[in-house]
């Protein structure tokens, strides 16, 4: 589950609002634990710190910035296992209303073994 939001300053956010955000994430995590499993999650630093690697005409170019330029930026993710899309939607709805949440199935690549 990818989480996107309009970049803003977390540091200057009021303590009360921070607690609200924490509470919604807790609600999400409790839902995921009750209905499935959590594998991992991370909050990402702002998109202004992103570096993008692209292969253009056989050459590797490294560029400043995220791969999609938009008002909203991917700000974090949850790797969870839930029974179906409806439960994933129910879980995703628990996250802060200021987020846009993208749900993507994780896939296993046949014959690939990580080292």
Partner 1 sequence: MTVPARMVLETVVQEEWGRLTSLLLAQYRRLDLVEDALGDAVEAAARRWPMDGAPDSPSAWLLTTARRRAVDRLRAESMAQRKARLLVTDAEHLQEGPAAMADPGGLVEDDLLRLVLMCTHPALAPEAASALALRLVLGVSTHDIARLFLVSEATAAARITRAKKKIVTAGIPFAVPAADVIPQRLETVAQTAYLAFTAGYTPGSGPHLLRADLAGEAIRLVRVVVGLCPSAPASVALLALTLLQHSRRDARVGDDGRLVLLADQDRRQWRRDEIDEALTLLASPVLAGSVSPLAASYVVQARIAAEHANAASPEETRWERIAEHYDVLLALFPSPSTRLARAVAVAEASGPEAGLAALDKVEIPGSHRVAAVRAELLSRRGDAGGARAAYGEAIAACRNDLERAYLVERQRALPGLNPP
- CA pseudo-torsion sign 102, 107, 109, 114: positive
Q: How far apart are CA 99 and CA 72, in angstroms?
A: 9
Which of residues 4 and 47 has its CB atom nearest to partner 1 in the complex? 4
Q: How many amino acids of this chain bind partner 1 (CB under 8 A)?
A: 10
| b/e code 48-69 from CB counts within 10 Å (16+ = b) | eeeeeeeeeeeeeeeeeebeee
Q: How far apart are CA 17 and CA 11, in angstroms?
A: 11
Minimum gap (Å) between residue 106 Cβ and partner 1: 11
Q: Taking CB under 8 A as the rule, which mask of x and - marks residues 45-84 in contact with partner 1?
A: --------------------------------------xx
Q: How far apart are CA 63 and CA 58, in angstroms?
A: 15
Q: Residue 105 interacts with partner 1 (CB under 8 A)?
A: yes
Q: Residue 27 interacts with partner 1 (CB under 8 A)?
A: no
Q: Residue 101 interacts with partner 1 (CB under 8 A)?
A: no
Interacting residues toward partner 1 by CB under 8 A = 83-86, 88-90, 103, 105, 107
């Amino acid at each position: 589950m990818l989480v996107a939001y309009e970049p803003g300053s977390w540091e200057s956010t009021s303590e009360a609002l921070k607690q609200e955000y924490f509470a919604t994430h807790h609600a999400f995590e409790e839902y995921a634990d009750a209905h499935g499993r959590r594998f991992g999650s991370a909050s990402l630093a702002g998109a202004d710190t992103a570096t993008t690697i692209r292969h253009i005409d056989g050459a590797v170019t490294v560029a400043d910035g995220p791969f999609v330029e938009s008002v909203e930026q991917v700000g974090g993710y949850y790797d969870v296992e839930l029974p179906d899309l409806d439960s994933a939607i129910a879980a995703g709805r628990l996250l802060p209303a200021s987020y846009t949440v993208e749900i993507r199935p994780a896939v296993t690549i046949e014959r690939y073994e990580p080292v």
